[in-house]
Amino acid sequence: MVMTAKPVECGPVEEISLPSSIVVTPAAPLPKVVFGARDVSVYYGDFRAVRDVNVDVYEHQITAFIGPSGCGKTTVLRCFNRMNDLIDAARVEGSVTYRGVDLYHRDVNPVEVRRRIGMVFQKPNPFPKSIYENVAYGPKVAGIKGNMDDIVEKALRSAGLWDEVKSRLKVSGMSLSGGQQQRLCIARAIATEPEVLLMDEPCSALDPIATARIEDLMQQIKNEFTIVIVTHNMQQAARVSDRTAFFTTEVNSESDTRTGLLVEVDETDKIFSKPSDERTENYVTGRFG
Amino acid sequence: MPLTTLGVGGREATERIDRQIKSGRIDFGGRMFAAMLFSSLALALLVLVVLFADVFGAGIGVFTTRAESFLSGGLRTKADSAGVFQAIRGTFWIAVFTVVLAFPIGVATAVYLEEYAHKGRLTRFLDLNIRNLAGVPSIVYGILGLTIFVKHLKSFTGGATPISAGITLAILVLPIVIITSAEALRAVPGTLREAGFGVGATRWEVCRTLVLPYALPGIITGTVLALARAIGEAAPILLIGAVTGLLPGQEGLLDPSQLTERFTALPVVIADWARTPRAGFDELAAAAIIVMLVLVMAMNTFAIILRSHFERKRN
């Protein structure tokens, strides 16, 4: 299975009259498509950071983005929860859909998007608040009703951190070790019960043991969440992901700038055993990058 | 230390390396540079010490002979009965107005510029001009205050009153509050904002619950420094019409009726007494300087306490 066919833009259907922001993908075989990116390019000002990205992300799978530095994998990841909005000069072209809805339609509220699509960052970045408040922050701002203690416990359990911190929930999140901080960040992200977790090189600041714990955790929670992970660690992609997208860079000789592009996306096994593109093969066999 | 282990090349090589890595340990250039830096520091401190010693030597006599009447008395033409109470009162109310106006407006402006405004030509232009405003001589603000608050808005400010002086000084220090607050906001790590946005907080929530608490210690320090500058200014409030010589009002420190009366303030009184040629007034000026130094130091101490309180809360 390589790329799925391009979605068909439907006009308003008479009986149910869909809003124009809804793009219906043709009856795709299971599993369901969560994200669809079509001809996506991202610009920072006049500079095109990444071009022509076409990728589908399936439900309850782990999709890995791999590639050399500067190939735009993080940039593409941040399109999925409108994080690029926070950079004044950033501009997204093409279409990014989340469950068939155009994420960049002008009526879409990015805050609502980010509540459904959680994010874990490269460097653990807990709030300078207590462990409890770190986890409770998301549900609080989302106005989630219910017993906050239960919500916090559930999220910390899912992140595999509960037993380590249950006796000191009032302690600052900054006092934890790096690996614990990153699991706290995962707990914080899943406390709002998002559907998707975007992970931007979540283990790059961690030692191998902490990394292994996060990878185990990802396997445990993938039944509940759809996960997209950016990693520069090919072994990690091979270990954890179901599908892998390989990005690379091309040098624009006129302006001496580099633009990222997506080379191919496929089942992880296939990417690492018999990729269809030579550039992918060179990368995964270590001859480049 | 005796050599106990011989490396490759035997004793000869070891001795050679021993000589090489132990030579040139005294870095003359570096030491001279350090000495130069230290003497700059020493010079600055020396000036300060001489200044303090001079002021204390001249002014301490007033406190040993009549501390109470000096601190509670009003402006008089006789050196042995004049006091600084009215000046302390005026400075206090000017400070209150300055903080109440400059702090919220300054912080709000900084938050807008740093957190909300799109970074573009307009914000760069505004930023540059705020920096320029911070460098405008204080006398210019005095003329502004005299024209606008004392004359045109007399019905609101009551003319030459602590209100006019407070508003004028608030405007004077506003650029400083904005600049230091903006710097404190810029020092907030971007990852903190991302974390907040990442869990679905709105810009306002990120600002209120994450960015501002993190930046608060820096904002407070900036505000207090600005306030210290404001209460030390003599020129603008002289223009506005601070009284020297004699001031009839004897209201208490917190009595609000003085807000619409004529006023005086510490730096004005110091300047006036210092150039009064009659005997005893030099000592009074020195004593008033001591009062002002104590006030400024008390304020700075308060700021340090506040700062460390919020820093502890932050971590």
* B123-164 confidence digits (pLDDT tens): 999 999 999 999 999 999 999 999 999 999 999 989 999 999
pLDDT tens column, B237-276: 999 988 888 888 777 888 888 888 899 999 999 999 999 9
Total count of domains within chain B = 1
CB contact under 8 Å between B200 and A123, yes or no, is no
Q: Name the B residues in 103-162 with CB < 8 Å from any A CB.
A: 118-120
In this prediction, residue A34 has a pLDDT band, given cuts at 50, 70 and 90, of very high
Query: For residue B219, what pLDDT is reported?
Result: 95
pLDDT tens column, A100-115: 999 999 999 999 999 9
Say which DSSP state A5 is in. Answer: P
Instruction: Look at the pTM and tell me if it is higher than 0.90.
Output: no
Query: Considering chain B, what percentage of its residues have pLDDT values greater than 70?
Result: 97
Say yes or no to pLDDT of A11 above 60: no
Answer whether residue B288 is part of any domain: yes
Q: Which domains does chain A have, with CATH numbers?
A: 33-123+195-284 (3.40.50.300)
Interface check for B191 against chain A (CB to CB < 8 A): the answer is: yes
Answer whether residue B32 is part of any domain: no
Answer whether residue B13 is part of any domain: no
CA nearest A191: which of A122, A141, A125, A123?
A: A141
Answer whether residue B250 is part of any domain: yes
Chain A residues within an 8 Å CB radius of B202: 111, 141
Contacts (Cβ under 8 Å, ≥6 apart) of A229: A62, A63, A64, A65, A199, A202, A218, A236, A237, A240, A241
Interface check for B315 against chain A (CB to CB < 8 A): the answer is: yes
Chain A residues within an 8 Å CB radius of B213: 128
CB contact under 8 Å between B198 and A86, yes or no, is no
**Within 10 A of B119 (CB to CB), how many other CB atoms are there?**
13
Answer whether residue B36 is part of any domain: no
Answer whether residue B46 is part of any domain: no
Give the structural domain span for B166.
78-314
Query: For residue B11, what pLDDT is reported?
Result: 83
SS3 annotation, B129-185: HHHHHHCCCHHHHHHHHHHHHHHHCHHHHCCCCHHHHHHHHHHHHHHHHHHHHHHHH
Say yes or no to pLDDT of A1 above 90: no
Interval A73-86 mean pLDDT: 94
Chain A residues within an 8 Å CB radius of B195: 121, 125-127, 185, 188
Interface check for B205 against chain A (CB to CB < 8 A): the answer is: yes
Answer whether residue B5 is part of any domain: no
CB contact under 8 Å between A137 and B199, yes or no, is yes
Query: For residue B20, what pLDDT is reported?
Result: 86
Say yes or no to pLDDT of B292 above 90: yes
CB contact under 8 Å between A137 and B200, yes or no, is no
Q: What strands, in cross-sheet order, belong to the sheet with A47-58?
A: A101-102, A90-98, A33-44, A47-58, A257-267, A243-252, A62-66, A226-230, A196-200, A117-120
Chain B residues within an 8 Å CB radius of A121: 191, 194-195, 198
Query: Considering chain A, what percentage of its residues have pLDDT values greater than 90?
Result: 73
CATH number at residue B294: 1.10.3720.10
Answer whether residue B206 is part of any domain: yes
Q: Report whether A176 contacts A206 (CB < 8 A).
A: no
Interface check for B195 against chain A (CB to CB < 8 A): the answer is: yes
Nearest C-alpha of chain B: how many angstroms from A113?
8
Q: What is the mean pLDDT of chain B?
A: 91
Interface check for B202 against chain A (CB to CB < 8 A): the answer is: yes
Say yes or no to pLDDT of B118 above 70: yes
